[in-house]
Amino acid sequence: MSAMTMSQKILAKHAGLPEVHAGDLIEARLDLVLGNDITSPVAIKEMEKFTKKGVFDKSKIALVPDHFVPNKDIKSAEGCKCVREFARANEIENYFEVGEMGIEHALLPESGLTLPGDVIIGADSHTCTYGALGAFSTGVGSTDMAAGMAMGKTWFKVPGAIKVVLTGKPAPWVSGKDVILHLIGRIGVDGALYKSLEFSGEGVQNLSMDDRFTIANMAIEAGAKNGIFPVDDRTVAYLDEHAPGKTWEVFTADPDADYEETVTIDLGSLKPTVAFPHLPENAKTVDEAGEIAIDQVVIGSCTNGRLDDLRVAARVLKGRHIAKGLRCIVIPATQKIYLKAMEEGLLKTFIEAGAVVSTPTCGPCLGGYMGILASGEKCVSTTNRNFVGRMGAVDSEIYLASPAVAAASAVAGRIASPQMIGL
């Protein structure tokens, strides 16, 4: 039998095949199908055209209204109403209403719905986040989501793979965001086009689960089909907390698996990193950034709205105040994270520093609401994309960074690392 990568083994198992190879077209069963308030209404309307009515398994579909929730206007309210009524009619078990929802890619792992060895599709490009737990997860279009909800399976072209070997231990104030921005800077936004980014090496053990979620989340920004991490003790501890009693299957790459490329990253050599406009590949260290004054900072999103992210930002902001005339918006990714941040006093720190704290929402990341940029404004953001017009006006600028850099920049009024403000 041919040697296979981690992703290929998961796909082979779900296709009922002894082996698969890069480029094969396969049909695989699905463990979870995900949609949000923007993509689900399109899928729901497509399902109305199907001969088959209903969903394949009401426990294996997750509907998370998170992009424009709480609703920002009539159109967004109608979209959420469509999802709500579909969930009710089909008795969808994992529908998350306002008050229990969160940003989908933080909420589902927190809720124990994403497990090692699963095959997961979602009508959102950052569905690749769940690879942090050793799942094969990838974004699809709304039509594929519709077919997945109806049939419980979909087709894939089996991806080739790039092996990313991580060594060493990150320095203080260096996080998963810096790792993935560095990687995308090295290989480019199409450097892993329709490939699996498979992370390995002894350095993995020095990354928290939140670091891994961040890295896997942005695999798509290198063009990857998915990103995936091995299952280790940290993964198991996370699952014991968030998915107690559930079973899963661990897949490991064969030692002689075929990788199209190997990239080695010494975590100890990395510095706080920023992606300049207008592509995530425009990576520079903060030391190289120069004097760039900013108008707004956003700390949140499916990439960096988790508890560790908020803790780091609060450490930077504690006893300090954001620069005069600058807006800083903090968005906890889920209700549980919001509550925990409140209990730990993090929200108090943010507010005393002059920031505003929002309910969980994707909001400004996609130029939706809660922080739109005006003409010519510059923003340091912990989100995942800095395309032209992504957060507002077409001549605004987005600089992608970690929570530590974002918080330090809020204090300095310009792009800065924690070290630059005396930490």
Distance in angstroms (rounded) separating the CA atoms of residues 164 and 36:
31
pLDDT of residue 113: 97
pTM here?
A: 0.95
Distance in angstroms (rounded) separating the CA atoms of residues 341 and 415:
25
Torsions phi, psi for 409 (to 5 deg): -65, -35
Q: Which of 164, 125, 171, 222 minimizes the C-alpha distance to 7?
A: 164
Sketch out the chain's domains with CATH numbers: 6-265 (3.30.499.10), 273-421 (3.30.499.10)
Q: Are 263 and 182 in contact (CB under 8 A)?
A: no
- Output the six-digit token pair for 89: 């009619």
Alpha-carbon Rg for the chain, nearest whole angstrom, is 21
- Output the six-digit token pair for 158: 């089996």
- Output the six-digit token pair for 299: 């700390």
The one-digit pLDDT tens for each residue of the chain (423 residues) are 789 999 999 999 999 999 999 999 999 999 999 999 999 999 999 998 988 889 999 999 999 999 999 999 999 999 999 999 999 999 999 999 999 999 999 999 999 999 999 999 999 999 999 999 999 999 999 999 999 999 999 999 999 999 999 999 999 999 999 999 999 999 999 999 999 999 999 999 999 999 999 999 999 999 999 999 999 999 999 999 999 999 999 999 999 999 999 999 999 999 999 999 999 999 999 999 888 999 999 999 999 999 999 999 999 999 999 999 999 999 999 999 999 999 999 999 999 999 999 999 999 999 989 999 999 999 999 999 999 899 999 999 999 999 999 999 999 999 999 999 988
